[in-house]
Amino acid sequence: MYKILLVEDNVPFRKSLREVLHKRFRQILIEEAGNGKEALEKMDSFCPSMIFMDIRLPDANGLELTQKIKRDCPETIIIILTSYDLPEYREAAEKYGANHFLTKDALTEGEIVAKVKTYYQ
């Protein structure tokens, strides 16, 4: 079973992302976490195939969280989400092991669907 974890503290954005995914991929299980602590708990209990990870979380840095998750579960696909399209963020995302980097402001439903389809058949 393919599983996606949404790690995002902005509840409306997280809910919108979930709706897009659920509409196009009804057979995928989707869980949510609003902070780093919840994300790590979900990693243990839910074991996602893919994570959409915000960089700025109330209790954690999403890049450092990405590095920890990739160290423990290197096969997990991590897509960084941020409102800040800065070259240093892109470089850091790559350095910390993220598979993709997407900016929230330019994010489209088609782009979200395409990223999931890349890994989910």
Domain annotation covers residue 119: no
Q: Residue 121 above 90 pLDDT?
A: no
Containing structural domain, residue 13: 3-114
pTM of the model: 0.96
pLDDT bin (cut points 50, 70, 90) of residue 87 is very high
pLDDT bin (cut points 50, 70, 90) of residue 88 is very high
In whole angstroms, give the CA distance from residue 114 to residue 108. 10
According to the model, what pLDDT value does residue 48 have? Answer: 97
In whole angstroms, give the CA distance from residue 87 to residue 120. 29
Domain annotation covers residue 74: yes
3-class secondary structure, 93: helix
Domain annotation covers residue 50: yes
46 Cβ contact partners less than 8 Å away, ≥ 6 residues apart: 3, 5, 29, 31
Domain count, the chain: 1
Domain annotation covers residue 120: no
According to the model, what pLDDT value does residue 56 have? Answer: 94
pLDDT bin (cut points 50, 70, 90) of residue 114 is very high
Domain annotation covers residue 52: yes
- pLDDT tens digit sequence for 38-86: 999 999 899 999 999 999 999 999 999 999 999 999 999 999 999 999 9
- The domain spanning residue 39 has which CATH number? 3.40.50.2300
CB 54 within 8 A of CB 82: yes
Q: Residue 37 above 90 pLDDT?
A: yes
Q: Residue 119 above 80 pLDDT?
A: yes
Domain annotation covers residue 99: yes
Domain annotation covers residue 121: no
